[in-house]
Chains A and B, each alone.
Chain A
Amino acid sequence: MREPRQITATQTMMMITNSMVGVAILALPRIAVELVNSGAILVTFIGLLLVFCSMVIIAKLGVRFPNESLIQSSKTIIGRPLAYLFGFFIFLFFILIVGFITREFAFILSSFLFPDTPMTVLVGVMLIVVAITTRNDITTISYIQFLYFPFIAIPILFLVLLSIPEIDMRLIRPFIGNQTNVFDFMKGSIMIAALPFAHIGMFVLTVLIPHTKNTKHAIRGSILGICISSLLLILIVFAVLGVFGINETKNPIWPVYVLTRMIQLPFELLERLDILFLIIWILSAFTTILSGYLIVIYNGSQLFQLRSHRVLSYIMLPIVFMVALYPKNVIQLYDFIRTIGLYGLFITMLYPILLLLVALIRKKKGSTANETM
């Protein structure tokens, strides 16, 4: 890590928000509604709360070892062999996750817009652009993400605003859903926390913390990041549920996209806005896949003790590519995402808790000598 430490709180926040508001946002309302029908908003909130807690733990862990990445610090905490083992799991897990969300995005494009274009091309082109972008150093990547943030956040707010005239308040209540119980909520919130965007959002912090200006920035940025992205996600779920109602949200695979097809600008300037929103989804998919890919190659470079993450930029490309092309159809893809996401919770939620506890018990701390402005 010979790069200068320059990332500020705002940039951290934006990177995290960009990563979380990704492709899964298009399917999120459906997943939220599945178990708890009109309690979707509440279950999203609880799920995001879980993510918040986990992120705070990761932030605290990173702050305790400010100059080291997760893998390096885990070496100090639990010893080399275990650290390498878990590090390898992390590496593998994120390869799968990145491949799957790229495929998910390619499915969306293919279903709505490009039925004839082969999946190879849709996936390949996105991955190539992402790989080229990761050749830069992390500070530049955070600048890039910073730039895209308003283009993603503001249109989403706009979308919510435009849906407000169509929202029927009856469809949002009762807040805890009909014929639901606590277990449904628990299961639902865990399913939401297991979605890929949550994993990527949490773990991108491990890439950023060694590069932030100081720990204050890191913590502030991460908390702001998850607050803003949670706000956006909850607003979207609110808008979709309010307009569509329970059953109609469960119906289409990607209800948010269908929502963009329904709303209209008040003065009929442009009739069809879904293409414009498509641009936003492409941008947000790009930023999420970029963060995911960065996690993969950064952790990989830490694992294999390479000089810089750039070495792996192109090497990981074919591997992720093949993972992305593996599922045969949409149903299988979502099955994979669900299963692997759930297992991944062990890695992204439980592992950091474990590390932090062990670090506290064994009183391990990172060197604070370089903690300057």
Chain B
Amino acid sequence: MNLWQAFTQKRKRKSQELPEEPMPIKHHKIEPNNIFSYLDAVNTIKEQFNNEHDFRAREIEVFGEIPATLFYLGSLVDKESISKDVIQPLLLAPSEYIDKEKQIENISELIIKKCLYHAEVQIEDQIPSAVTDLLRGNTILLIEGLQNAIIINTKMVDKRSITQPDTEQVIRGPRDGFIESLETNIALLRDRIPITDFKVKPLEVGSLTKSSVCLFYIDGIANQSLIKDVEERLSKIDIDRILDAGYIEQFIQDNPRSPFPQVKNTERPDVAAGNLLEGRVVLMVDGSPFALIVPATFIMFYQSSEDYNERTNMMSVIRFTRLVSIVFSLITPSAYVAVISYHPELIPTAFSVAITSGRAGVPFPAVIEVFVMEAAMEILREATVRMPKQVGGALSIVGVLVVGQAAVMAGFVSPITVVVIAITTIGSFSTPAYSMATGFRMLRFPLLFMTGVLGIYGLVLGLIVIVNHLVSLRSFGVPYFSPISPMNWGGMRDAFIRAPLRWLIDRPEELHVSNKKRIENPKEIPTTNPLGPENQNSGSGGKSS
């Protein structure tokens, strides 16, 4: 047993000294398969919920004769729907009903098919699953003499209204965004892809939160082995809670240690729909407005849905600007340090001599200065995100004044450093995807360290390590840097520039889709001049000239 093993063993023992897991939650372990009588069943359920604040047990008499009880959780249900669509029709006997004893066996069928107005009704014969349904907002109807319960879906929880997501704003494009309710989200997607091939597969993940997860894909396009693999990875998730789609992302991603995200998340339905049509798979969790898109490549994080809504030329330039700005935000502080501390001959002489005047009184070497300023900027950024809006405005003023101006005047930093930091920060804001921006933000610091020690050699080597890592990453088997690294000229049309829509007729090659072309032979759009002079009749009024 070597040193390393001894060390880890010691650590393991320590964790074992912690107290045991807290007592497991008290479930009434209701055995399935026991046939309870009506009263026993009612009492079991009442005991289970035992005076909870929102538990209701409403007793009625079906058709005026048969005793029955309705159970529901008042916080989760639409009470109006219960009264109008469930209780009211049950109180009046339909014409087919004659006598209690004769028709007790098929009374459930009678009720479901001929009485209840409600749209979603099911039959359940195991109490545990009935209780689970109750916890999901369903109403349980137990009727004396019946061996099963009738489950009615009356869930209504207050939902957020559909607004443009804060994290992905566009100037031109649809302004709806996913919300927490899975039903609404499915609606937003189905609305955009009303074809039969669009499949919505349900799954359940999370032992305690029992979150419903839906897998979306388009049957004739997405690759079958991809779908199977995603399902498998989801089924292997072993955790008690899924509180956000991000939890799932961390389980299904290929390389958890990489700073770069391998799963794209978005709050916009048009982004999700677009990726579905390319052959990707989308995952959504009930309770989270973020949709996960797999497999993800580097370029995807630099595309915004607005790119496709606007015209080609402008958007190509803007896309290019985005990429340039992210490169700047990564290397500007390091380049500054490299030039100032190691290679001042790179700057023109007059400027270099003037820079020394700016730096003459500064106590720290350039590396430390930039490090401190960058760290301050990061702290400021985090603070701005968490602050409530009222205080946030004041904070930015404080940030600018104190950190920028006063520090320069106090001789703590040189003015050029402040400019460099400003460029870097602004550059990092231009990334549409937050998870990617964070990755690059964090990478700035190791790069700064390497540059601080070895000048431009360190900078280049650091960049080499980062680039190599990017190229070697894979997301569900797709190389992260396609279409650049395994070169694919067709894919480049949508990478650095945005080619006109008429040219984007192939689906991305790296996804190995079943149906490569979007349209078989796109028709040419002829140019016509309906209001031009040549199309005017000669005798149509004296106005035409």
Contacts and interface: CB of A to CB of B under 8 A. Distances in A.
Contact between chain A and chain B defined by CB under 8 Å: yes
Interface of A: 6, 10-11, 109, 113-114, 117, 121-122, 125-126, 129, 132-133, 136, 140, 143-144, 146-147, 270-272, 275, 278-279, 282-283, 286
B481 A147 contact: yes
A270 B346 contact: yes
A270 B455 CA distance: 19
A160 to B, nearest CB: 22
B481 A113 contact: no
Contact of B471 (A143, A270, A275, A279): A143
Contacts of A129: 461, 464-465
Given A121-B454, A144-B467, 7 more contacts: A114-B454, A143-B485, A146-B485, A147-B485, A271-B348, A275-B343, A282-B461
Nearest to A143: B485
Interface in B348-362: 348-349
A147 B484 contact: yes
A363 B179 CA distance: 71
Interface string B475-499: 0000101001111000000000000
B467 A117 contact: no
B457 A282 contact: yes
B342 interface: yes
Contacts of A121: 454
A147 B465 CA distance: 13
Contacts of A270: 346
Contacts of A283: 460, 464
B16 interface: no
Given A136-B472, A140-B472, A271-B348, A125 B465 contact: no
A272 B345 contact: yes
Contacts of B456: 113, 275, 278-279, 282
Tell me whether chain B's interface is mostly helix, strand or loop, or mixed.
Answer: helix
A140 B346 contact: no
Given A125-B454, A144-B467, A144-B485, A279 B460 contact: yes
A143 B346 contact: no
Interface of B: 339, 342-343, 345-346, 348-349, 454-458, 460-461, 464-465, 467-468, 471-472, 479, 481, 484-487
Given A272-B345, A283-B460, A114 B455 contact: yes
28 contacts: A11-B486, A109-B457, A113-B456, A113-B457, A114-B342, A114-B457, A122-B457, A132-B465, A133-B468, A136-B468, A140-B471, A143-B479, A143-B485, A143-B486, A144-B468, A144-B485, A146-B486, A146-B487, A147-B467, A147-B481, A147-B485, A271-B348, A272-B345, A272-B346, A275-B343, A282-B461, A286-B461, A286-B464
B112 to A, nearest CB: 56
Contacts of B487: 10-11, 146
Given A113-B342, A132-B465, A282 B460 contact: yes
Nearest to A137: B472
Top 5 A-B residue pairs of the complex, sorted by shortest distance between their CB atoms? A143-B485, A282-B460, A140-B472, A136-B472, A275-B346
A178 to B, nearest CB: 37
Contacts of B467: 144, 147
Most buried by B among A117, A122, A136, A147: A147
Contact of A144 (B349, B454, B471): B471
Nearest to B348: A271
Nearest to A125: B461
Contacts of B454: 114, 117, 121, 125
A274 to B, nearest CB: 8
A117 B346 CA distance: 20
B93 to A, nearest CB: 71
B33 to A, nearest CB: 50
A133 B458 CA distance: 16
A279 B334 CA distance: 14
A282 B461 CA distance: 8
A113 B472 contact: no
A147 B471 contact: yes
B460 A113 contact: no
Nearest to B351: A271
B472 A144 contact: yes
Contacts of A125: 454, 457-458, 461
A122 to B, nearest CB: 7
Contacts of A113: 342-343, 455-457
Contacts of A143: 471-472, 479, 481, 485-486
Contacts of A109: 457
A293 to B, nearest CB: 13
A300 B479 CA distance: 28
A143 B486 CA distance: 6
A172 B471 CA distance: 43
Contacts of A6: 486
Contacts of B342: 113-114
A109 B457 CA distance: 8
A122 B453 CA distance: 11
Residue among B348, B349, B465, B486 with the most chain A CB within 10 A? B486
Contacts of B479: 140, 143
B486 to A, nearest CB: 6
Contacts of A271: 346, 348-349
Contacts of B484: 147
A132 B469 CA distance: 10
Contacts of B457: 109, 113-114, 122, 125, 282
A289 B481 CA distance: 23
A278 to B, nearest CB: 6
